[in-house]
Amino acid sequence: MMSSSIPWTKIFFQSACPCGSGEIAYKCCWRGGGRWEKTPVGTIAVSKTSTKNAGCYLSPLGNCGTKITREHFISRNILERMTQSKLKFENAGHFFGGKQSVEISIDAFSAKVLCDNHNSALSALDTSAGLALTTIDALGMDIERVATGEPFRSFYISSGIDLERWMIKVYCGLVAAGKIRGQSGDVVGLESLSRNLLDSLIGTASLPQPLGLYMHTFVGQQRRSRGLSFGTIKLTDGSDGVGGLILSLGPINVVLVTSPLYGEAFSDPNWYRHQPLAWNVRQYGSRIAYLFTY
Ligand SMILES: [Zn+2]
Ligand SMILES: [Zn+2]
């Protein structure tokens, strides 16, 4: 959907598009009158086959290829730019053997969990999420710049729907690879990947509440402005189950709720489902905004 009008962003309509595509804005995400939309990837076209490859977590949907391929959850060049050489996972001992916090190499952030057919079909989501991660990183740099220099205007946009679906892909991949555990140490199994998650990853359905992407913002608080780390959220029902996946991207935290048992999202005022303006600050004469469209 097109955003509502953000009048001061009109100055960007002839610039390189704030989505990071490299196109000029009026040929890309500009919709006129200060309104914007990043066109989402949409339903993924998977070529038809009669194979269900047992090694592919999308095999319940059919149309698998015969080979299982290694999949990098986030493309290497983006990880290398955002993280040095290690990736951080923290929170509640849910990852990788029940430690409170663990660092893994970029190469270990991949797994053989998808067939070739599904892996290549989903690559459009990786491309879109790559743009989002890159522009959020640029937002972090601009936030650091505010206090130091001349007033400036900074505006970025990405598709919240694509980021949501890519987070589903990362979560499914981590589960399929046996990397997520409950606090008891039990590995979260493939049976926890509901049909809702798989269908919305492919784009044939949207997620029923409370599942989906939430923004967890701390406007006005001191935040880390750059970097990337993953965490899990615990269920709030007293069990040790996993409620979802957090991705901290410098100034923006996104949370994908993956369990229908998760209730926190409705009572905490800092949680916003499908929030369009994830960052919107006016400081020292500068303006900075980050827009997700859905
Ligand atoms: Zn664009
Ligand atoms: Zn498959």
Three-state DSSP at 259 gives coil
Query: Tokens standing for 13?
Result: 């309509």
Domain span including residue 125? 38-293
Backbone angles phi, psi at 123, to 5 degrees: -65, -25
Mean pLDDT confidence for 145-158 = 91
275 or 193, greater pLDDT: 193
Q: How far is the CA of 62 from the centre of ligand 2 (A)?
A: 7
Q: How far is the CA of 114 from the centre of ligand 2 (A)?
A: 5
Residue of 294, 291, 287, 252 lying closest to 273 (CA atoms): 294
Looking at every residue in the chain, the average pLDDT score rounds to 86
Q: How far is the CA of 80 from the centre of ligand 2 (A)?
A: 28
Q: How far is the CA of 54 from the centre of ligand 1 (A)?
A: 38
Residue of 218, 210, 207 lying closest to 161 (CA atoms): 207
Q: Is pLDDT at 286 greater than 80 in this prediction?
A: yes
pLDDT tens digit string along 57-78? 999 999 999 999 988 877 777 7
Hey, which residues does 215 pair with through a beta bridge?
A: 254, 272
Ligand minimally distant from the alpha carbon of residue 156: 1
Q: Is residue 85 part of a domain?
A: yes
Ligand 1 (ion): which residues have CB within 5 A?
17, 19, 21, 28-29
Q: How far is the CA of 4 from the centre of ligand 1 (A)?
A: 16
Number of domains in the chain: 1
Ligand minimally distant from the alpha carbon of residue 62: 2
Q: Is residue 13 part of a domain?
A: no
Q: How far is the CA of 63 from the centre of ligand 2 (A)?
A: 6
Q: Is residue 5 part of a domain?
A: no
Q: Is residue 256 part of a domain?
A: yes
Backbone angles phi, psi at 258, to 5 degrees: -110, -10
Ligand minimally distant from the alpha carbon of residue 131: 1
Q: What is the pLDDT of residue 269?
A: 65
Mean pLDDT confidence for 148-174 = 93
pLDDT tens digit string along 218-270? 555 455 667 778 887 777 676 777 888 888 888 888 889 998 887 765 566 66
Q: Is residue 239 part of a domain?
A: yes
Percent of the chain predicted with pLDDT > 90 = 50
Strand (E) or helix (H) holding 228: strand 228-234
Q: How far is the CA of 283 from the centre of ligand 1 (A)?
A: 26
Determine if the pTM surpasses 0.95. no
Q: How far is the CA of 21 from the centre of ligand 1 (A)?
A: 5
Q: How far is the CA of 251 from the centre of ligand 1 (A)?
A: 21
Q: What is the pLDDT of residue 221?
A: 47
Q: How many CB atoms lie within 10 A of CB 143?
A: 21
Provide Rg for the chain, Cα atoms: 19
Q: Is residue 247 part of a domain?
A: yes
pLDDT tens digit string along 35-61? 999 999 999 999 999 999 999 999 999
Q: Is pLDDT at 165 greater than 90 in this prediction?
A: yes
d(CA 87, CA 284): 34
In the block, residue with structure tokens 């505006």: 155
Q: What is the pLDDT of residue 265?
A: 55
Q: Is residue 128 part of a domain?
A: yes
Q: Is residue 211 part of a domain?
A: yes
Q: What is the pLDDT of residue 84?
A: 65
